[in-house]
Amino acid sequence: MICFLVVIMALTCSFLSAEVLDRDKMLDVMAKVHGNHDYSIRNDDLEEATEELKCYGHFTRDYDPVCGSNGKIYSNLSMFTYRQCMMKIQENIEIQVKEMKYCKDAQVEDMTHVS
């Protein structure tokens, strides 16, 4: 009888250790798959996004064209100011308001992406 109990205990321990090993293997795989957080957010991206928020303001729908030194016509001064701000941040390009004759052959800048 004691021999039977020893055999039962030995079998139980072997099953438990196998279960623990399987669990450890599973956790090891999970750690390798889900623990690889290789995401990189560059500080300059965050800074740029924060700066871009400063460009948003009160946009008007009135049509009072403004000529930019980049040769493009903007529907009004508020749209020009927005694009001026964004171009400075995104492309490091500065534009200024010019006389309309400077943009005589230009089309109005597409501002449909501005909400």
Question: What is the crossing angle of helices 43-53 and 77-91, to 10°?
Answer: 170
Fold of domain 47-103: Wheat Germ Agglutinin (Isolectin 2); domain 1 (3.30.60)
Domain boundaries of the chain, sorted by first residue? 47-103
Q: What value does the mean pLDDT take over residues 80-91?
A: 93
Q: What is the pLDDT of residues 5-16, one digit of tens each?
A: 555 666 555 555
Winning range, highest mean pLDDT, from 1-10, 25-34, 79-88: 79-88
- The whole-model pTM stands at 0.54
Taking the CA atoms of 24, 29, 34 and 36 in sequence, report the sign of the dihedral they define: positive
Alpha carbon distance 9, 110 (integer Å):
79
pLDDT of residue 22: 77
What sections of the chain are H helices per DSSP? 2-34, 43-53, 77-91
Among candidate residues 11, 24, 100, 115, the one with its CA nearest the CA of residue 64? 100
